[in-house]
């Protein structure tokens, strides 16, 4: 890769996206763009949320933020970078984001859990940003939390942050059974049955 402009030249229509401060960048209105032109591009997001182009790491935080702002998940589960002019399919090893920090405000059923992704986006676990548990490629046999960030794009909780979530967990009766889980935004989010968790 010869420089940042290498990636920019591969995607038409980037000049139609409003400028914004980097790396904090508002997502583009990708759901309203339906370009006819479509092709793959050799951009990938690895299991740890790192972006690369043609096998070389994209090191500029601003460029990664730009690409993340035009990222969309298609109904078939594939990921594309979308502009008004075209969409380009990319490869994603698991999910595009990793939640690298967690903050808890309040206590017990009144608390709100807010996650920060590796790209600096923050999202509170709530009905609009639900949490699910799954044994994804990075889990190593352990079910880890996945939280919707926006538009079907998810962040997987980093394994280094998972113990903090467990520390904040509790046991509640959910659907007639005892579950270990965590409260956020006035809702109990079950993680595993209490007997399986040993509590």
User: Is residue 151 scored above 50 in pLDDT?
Assistant: yes
Give tens-digit pLDDT for 65-79.
999 999 999 999 999
The CA-based diameter of the chain, rounded to the nearest angstrom, is 59
More confident residue, 132 or 16: 132
Neighbours of 175 (CB within 10 A): 6
Give tens-digit pLDDT for 164-179.
999 999 999 988 889 9
| Structure tokens that stand for 114 in this block | 């807010």
User: Is residue 112 scored above 70 in pLDDT?
Assistant: yes
pLDDT value for 16: 56
Of the CA atoms within 13 Å of residue 98, those in its CB half-sphere come to 21
User: Is residue 52 scored above 80 in pLDDT?
Assistant: yes
C-alpha separations of 124 from 88, 127, 148, 186 in Å: 30, 9, 10, 12
Contacts of 77 (CB under 8 A, 6+ apart): none
Ramachandran area for residue 31 (φ above 0: left; ψ -120 to 50: alpha; else beta): alpha
User: Is residue 8 scored above 60 in pLDDT?
Assistant: no
What average pLDDT score do residues 30-59 get? 93
At 116, phi and psi to the nearest 5?
-120, 130
With cut-offs at 50, 70 and 90, classify the pLDDT of residue 5: very low
pLDDT value for 141: 62
With cut-offs at 50, 70 and 90, classify the pLDDT of residue 86: very high
What average pLDDT score do residues 81-106 get? 95
Percent of the chain at pLDDT > 90 equals 66
Question: What pTM was computed for the model?
Answer: 0.85
pLDDT value for 68: 94
Q: Which of 56, 140, 52, 149 is nearest to 95 (CA)?
A: 149
- Look at residue 84 and give its three-state secondary structure: coil
Average pLDDT, the chain: 86
Domains and CATH numbers, the chain: 4-92 (3.10.540.10), 97-197 (2.30.270.10)
With cut-offs at 50, 70 and 90, classify the pLDDT of residue 96: very high
């Amino acid at each position: 890769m010869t420089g940042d402009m290498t990636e920019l030249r591969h995607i038409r229509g980037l000049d139609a996206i409003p400028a914004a401060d980097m790396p904090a960048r508002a997502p583009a209105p990708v759901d309203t763009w339906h370009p006819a032109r479509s092709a793959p591009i050799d951009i990938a997001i690895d299991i740890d949320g790192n972006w690369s182009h043609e096998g070389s790491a994209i090191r500029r935080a601003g460029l990664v933020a730009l690409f993340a702002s035009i990222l969309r998940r298609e109904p078939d589960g594939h990921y594309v970078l979308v502009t008004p002019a075209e969409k380009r399919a990319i490869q994603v090893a698991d999910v595009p984001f990793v939640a690298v920090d967690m903050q808890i405000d309040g206590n017990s059923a009144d608390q709100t859990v807010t996650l920060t992704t590796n790209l600096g986006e923050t999202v509170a676990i709530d009905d609009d940003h639900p949490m699910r548990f799954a044994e994804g490629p990075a889990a190593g046999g352990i079910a880890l939390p996945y939280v919707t960030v926006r538009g079907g794009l998810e962040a997987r909780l980093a394994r280094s942050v998972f113990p903090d979530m467990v520390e904040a967990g509790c046991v509640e009766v959910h659907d007639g059974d005892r579950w270990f889980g965590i409260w956020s935004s006035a809702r109990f989010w079950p993680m595993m049955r209490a007997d399986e968790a040993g509590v």
